[in-house]
Amino acid sequence: MVKQEDLQTIASSLQSFLEDLHSKYESLRDGTVANYIPELAKVNPDLFSICIATVNGDVYEVGDYNQLFTIQSISKVFVHGLALEDHGRDYLLTKVGVEPTGDAFNAIILDETSKRPYNPMVNAGAIATTSLIKGSGATERLNRMLDMFQRYTGHNVFVDISVFTSERITGHRNRAMAHLMLNFGMINQNLEEALDLYFQQCSVMVNCYDLALMAATLANKGINPMTGEQAVESRYVKDILSVMYTCGMYNFAGEWAYKVGIPAKSGISGGIIAVIPNVMGIGVFSPPLDSRGNSVRGVKVCEELSQQFGLHLFECSEKK
């Protein structure tokens, strides 16, 4: 397992390694961009960026790292953190489980016995988690969520209105899940409001640097390495990372844990974040997705970074 002491060694070759990785994979044309809403289908499939932020505040970046895109499912990680702060681990567990599903992210399934959605990283669990965010009305809940994203990114964040509107108009499947959970009393009556907040969180605009910094904040005990602000209470970071580790890459989560071995989360717009605890955060953005909804280039980049620098959490062989 790589430690903070190893950072200096890694850092010396990181920038050139990222540049090599970027040129190696920019010609890879596999995968298709998400097309469930026209706004996402319009994206340029060649956009590609990699960014790493360390817990010491150093940044390494290559490609289109300033390009904005909607955060999509990566938001689930951070909203899970906010729900933990709002309700604590025990209560949250009564509403949303922490079991990987082995099914697609948008599967309409609940745990047979408990009627809970399986985990906060799949859509059903994320909608249930979002429905628990505290606030005296829709505006306050949205503002609390945007403030939370601001603590992680260090700047104001905005919702892309056209993506939000499309998600809302076309989100029949998500709406169906919400109704199923309402039927079992797992979310409250105010289901449309919870769905709106979920669609808004998915439509928050970030760039690849933001992703790396958000991941680095989780790597740094919940403290943003650039601003020094506590983005999430430290005691919840291990809960967040455990769920990312086992459920963050949808039905590829097991193979990911086996091969790459670091907590990660992907989103349908092509982003991936990965967290090396106490060391650094990785952000990758490349829109074409594989059949499980993970960025093709993003997966390749993380696999190679993990191998090259021995990032797998359970790596115990001698360093070369």
Q: Does 174 bind ligand GLN (CB under 6 A)?
A: yes
Position 306 contacts ligand GLN (CB under 6 A):
no
- Rounded to a whole number of angstroms, the minimum distance from the CB of residue 123 to ligand GLN is 5
Residue with Cβ nearer ligand GLN (72 or 101)? 72
Yes or no: say if 93 and 80 are a contact pair by the CB < 8 Å rule. no
Contacting ligand GLN within 61-90 (CB under 6 A)? 72-73
Q: Which is nearer to ligand GLN, 48 or 199 (CB)?
A: 199
| Residue 159 interacts with ligand GLN (CB under 6 A): yes or no | no
Residue 271 touching ligand GLN (CB under 6 A): no
Of the candidates 281, 287, 293, 298, which one interacts with ligand GLN according to CB under 6 A? Answer: 293
Distant-in-sequence, close-in-space partners of 224: CB < 8 Å, separation ≥ 6:
151, 152, 154, 213, 216, 217, 230, 231
Total residues interacting with ligand GLN, rule: CB under 6 A: 11
Is 165 a binding residue for ligand GLN by CB under 6 A? The answer is no
For ligand GLN, which residue of 268, 273, 274, 284 counts as binding (CB under 6 A)? 268
Residues between 92 and 151 with contacts to ligand GLN, criterion CB under 6 A? 105-106, 123
- The interface mask with ligand GLN, positions 182-211, x = CB under 6 A, is --------------------x---------
Residues that bind ligand GLN (CB under 6 A): 72-73, 105-106, 123, 167, 174, 202, 267-268, 293
